[in-house]
Amino acid sequence: MHFRAYAGCMTDASPLPLVVDTDTAADDCFALLVALLDPRADLQAITIVAGNVGFAQQVDNAFLTLELAGRVGEVPVHLGAQQPLVQPWVSATDVHGEDGVGGQRRTNTEQPASEHAVDALIRLAREHAGELTIVAIGPLTNIALAVRLDPEFAANVRELVIMGGSINGRGNITPAAEYNIFVDPEAADIVVRAGFPRVRFVTWDPLTVRDTVFDEARIAEIAALDTDLSRFFVRANAATYAFDLAAGLGGSTHPDSLSVLVALDRDLVLAERPYRVDVELRGEFTRGATVFEGRATDAEANATAIESVNSEAFFHYMRRMLGRSA
């Protein structure tokens, strides 16, 4: 049974208070562009978590993205966890390149906020109690720490969108585990058990590998736009494109951008349904895998998974955004 379970609503008149928690490289940067440039978003903060590439590089990439969006000094960047909760950090430089942006560098000298990312998440959730959306597009370390530090944190959040896991058991960093969950499974376990009022998953398989692929023709369309943003995109995306192509995916994948966009645009979602989601912490071959139980009762369900989006509309949105002069 597929149905639209999401009844929450934002009006056109009031932009959505938003935080993006990110391991800023490649698609994370494009996701930030969505949050920075879409008038439906009121981006309150960017919080950085250990993930894709070196931590300091991720911070630089966030400031580079702010610069491209023409919003330096308007949205604070908060430094979060520099290691997963329990296990050592695992990078994704094999996927996104050493720096995740194809050698592009910021020219601004803006500094991160002094407040820790976890404190900022807790504060913003309190200040916007019942209204704040958090889009988590990296490992869930910062979100788990906020849950542990403030017993009211989860209840204060309107919606948590998580990019991570797979409904069908197929991973990308191991046969069974998707990268964001694999890097910090203990954090993911804390988050799915935290009792957030509304959690929506943008998963790797099948959603990302079917509905977010930008093939050669799509990349050529973006390149032909020849704007600062499109040139940034093509260069920052090149390593991911090559990696995903070699992995047989047909082009680059854009789950992080989709995660921000689904928080803003409910019409993009074609199907979603409730699940009981658990994280495998002990499996010999499956640590970091997500288990999506579709037979869960309403009382057992702890999340909704987006199962299908309008892929053409998503690409057209991204092309339109990258075609603008920031």
Our CB check for ligand BDR shows the closer of 14 and 168 to be: 168
Would you count residue 163 as binding ligand BDR (CB under 6 A)?
yes
The CB-side HSE value for 186 (13 A sphere, CA atoms) comes to: 9
Beta bridge mates, 21: 47, 136
Residue from 18, 21, 27, 191 binding ligand BDR (CB under 6 A): 27
Phi, psi of 45, rounded to the nearest 5 degrees: -165, 155
Q: From the list ligand BDR, Ca ion, none, which binds 204 (C-beta under 5 to 8 Å, kind-based)?
A: ligand BDR
Q: From the list Ca ion, ligand BDR, none, which binds 92 (C-beta under 5 to 8 Å, kind-based)?
A: ligand BDR
Closest CA to 35 of 49, 46, 51: 46
Cα 100 to Cα 22: distance, rounded to the nearest angstrom: 13
Q: Which two tokens stand for residue 11?
A: 């009006």
Residue from 137, 147, 183, 309 binding Ca ion (CB under 5 A): 137
Considering the complex, what minimum distance in angstroms separates the CB of residue 16 from ligand BDR? Answer: 20
Considering the complex, what minimum distance in angstroms separates the CB of residue 147 from ligand BDR? Answer: 20
Would you count residue 18 as binding Ca ion (CB under 5 A)?
no
Q: Taking the CA atoms of the chain, what radius of gyration do you get in angstroms?
A: 18
Considering the complex, what minimum distance in angstroms separates the CB of residue 73 from ligand BDR? Answer: 26
Considering the complex, what minimum distance in angstroms separates the CB of residue 207 from Ca ion? Answer: 15
Considering the complex, what minimum distance in angstroms separates the CB of residue 325 from ligand BDR? Answer: 26
Would you count residue 28 as binding Ca ion (CB under 5 A)?
yes
Residue from 54, 138, 139, 171 binding Ca ion (CB under 5 A): 138
Would you count residue 256 as binding ligand BDR (CB under 6 A)?
yes
Specify the DSSP element, H or E, that contains 272: strand 269-279
Question: What contacts 216, CB < 8 A, 6 or more positions away?
Answer: 251
> What would the DSSP string read from start to end of 75-124?
S-EEE--SS-SSSPP---HHHH-SSSSTT------PPPPSS-HHHHHHHH
The residue with tokens 């009844």 is 7
Find the binding residues for Ca ion in span 240-259 (CB under 5 A): 256
Number of residues binding to ligand BDR, judged by CB under 6 A:
14
Considering the complex, what minimum distance in angstroms separates the CB of residue 138 from ligand BDR? Answer: 6
Catalytic residue list contains 78:
no
Would you count residue 196 as binding ligand BDR (CB under 6 A)?
no
- Across 164-237, the runs of DSSP E, i.e. the strands, are 199-202, 213-214
Our CB check for Ca ion shows the closer of 131 and 241 to be: 241
Cα 326 to Cα 259: distance, rounded to the nearest angstrom: 22
Cα 18 to Cα 135: distance, rounded to the nearest angstrom: 7
Cα 228 to Cα 11: distance, rounded to the nearest angstrom: 31
Cα 210 to Cα 203: distance, rounded to the nearest angstrom: 11
Our CB check for Ca ion shows the closer of 23 and 211 to be: 23
* Window 201-220: contact mask with ligand BDR (x via CB under 6 A): ---x----------------
Q: Which two tokens stand for residue 56?
A: 């300091």
Question: What contacts 72, CB < 8 A, 6 or more positions away?
Answer: 63, 66, 108, 110
Would you count residue 179 as binding ligand BDR (CB under 6 A)?
yes
Our CB check for ligand BDR shows the closer of 202 and 264 to be: 202
Our CB check for Ca ion shows the closer of 139 and 274 to be: 139
Contact residues: ligand BDR, CB under 6 A: 27-28, 52, 92, 95, 137, 163, 172, 178-180, 204, 255-256
By annotation, the residues acting in catalysis are: 254
| Binding footprint of Ca ion on the chain (CB under 5 A) | 23, 28, 137-138, 256
